[in-house]
Amino acid sequence: MALTQDEIERYARHLVLHEVGGPGQNKLKEARVLVIGAGGLGAPLLYYLAAAGVGTIGIVDHDTVSLSNLQRQIIHTTARIGSSKTSSARETLHGLNPHVHVIEHGLRITSGNALSIISDFDIVADGCDNFPTRFLVSDACYFARRTLVTAAVGQFDGQLSTFKPHESSPDGRPWPTYRCLMGELPPRGLFPACEEAGVLGALPGILGSMQAMEVIKEILGIGDSLAGRLLMYDALAARFYETKLAWNPDNPLTGNNPRIMSLEQSNYIDR
């Protein structure tokens, strides 16, 4: 797929990178990325995916833009308060890069529609704000054999990882899943939501931008993947920490004796 003259100029700083060049830019152009959530994490994530030239970007979000979103959700504007977040995001992305095709899914992702939506894309980036959706998206990515880049933030800290349990790690075992990190779905209310605990607005900007970087790396096949690693950021201390994630043989999804064979068998609480 040849780049147009406009695209050659637009992506000039990519094209001079040995790790990207013309072939890599065409990989980005042909890629299909699904973003779950057009909020604090999704806003910078979507911006940078569009700026990078990812050809098709899907957005899943059932919510509308509110005034309290604008402290961190930089893809939306005051004039769009009351508009759907997917349409607001699409308008911003097209204003930034008209070469990007945006597919809106202005709905809740559920165990009934997750597989059909996710299977239409090459890679998924999850920026949702609740545990049931994170578990659902992670499990659906496993069944659809799609790589997942996921991030979460709270108050002054955040975390980021990549999950691809449909592939094997160098030791021959599956890469870990989100369930290897979190175990079972936490009880509702155990971890306060953003609207209850608060979040410093720039924090999801940092983690969402890092998500975009990891998605782009996975598309291009460059650098070291975050699969098998959890990267944590403490904003107040201005420090990054990393820990290894290992496959859990007791994982009910991918362990030695799996109990979850479909999305209908798990205990999601669709929100």
- How large is the average pLDDT for residues 102-125? 96
Give me the domains of the chain, ranges plus CATH numbers: 31-265 (3.40.50.720)
- Render pLDDT for 13-50 as a digit per residue (tens, 0 to 9): 999 999 999 999 999 999 999 999 999 999 999 999 99
Write out the DSSP string of 257-270.
S----SGGGS----
The predicted pLDDT at position 271 comes to 41
Query: Taking Cα atoms as reference points, which of 103, 97, 20, 12 lies closest to residue 53?
Result: 97
Please give the biggest Cα pair distance in the chain: 54
- CA–CA dist 70, 221 (Å, integer): 34
Token pair recorded at residue 46? 């979507």
What does the pLDDT read at residue 269? 59
Check residue 186 and give its pLDDT. Answer: 73
| Angle subtended at Cα 29 by Cα 96 and Cα 214, rounded to the nearest 5 degrees | 85
Task: Indicate whether 257 pLDDT > 60.
Answer: yes
Of 133-147, 174-188, 208-222, the poorest mean pLDDT is in 174-188
Distance CA 216, CA 17 (A): 14
Distances (CA, A) of 158 to 127, 166, 208: 12, 25, 10
- What percent of the chain clears pLDDT 90, i.e. is strictly above it? 85
Confidence check: pLDDT of 190 > 70: no
pLDDT cut 70: percent of the chain above it: 94
How confident is the model at residue 150, as a pLDDT?
Answer: 97
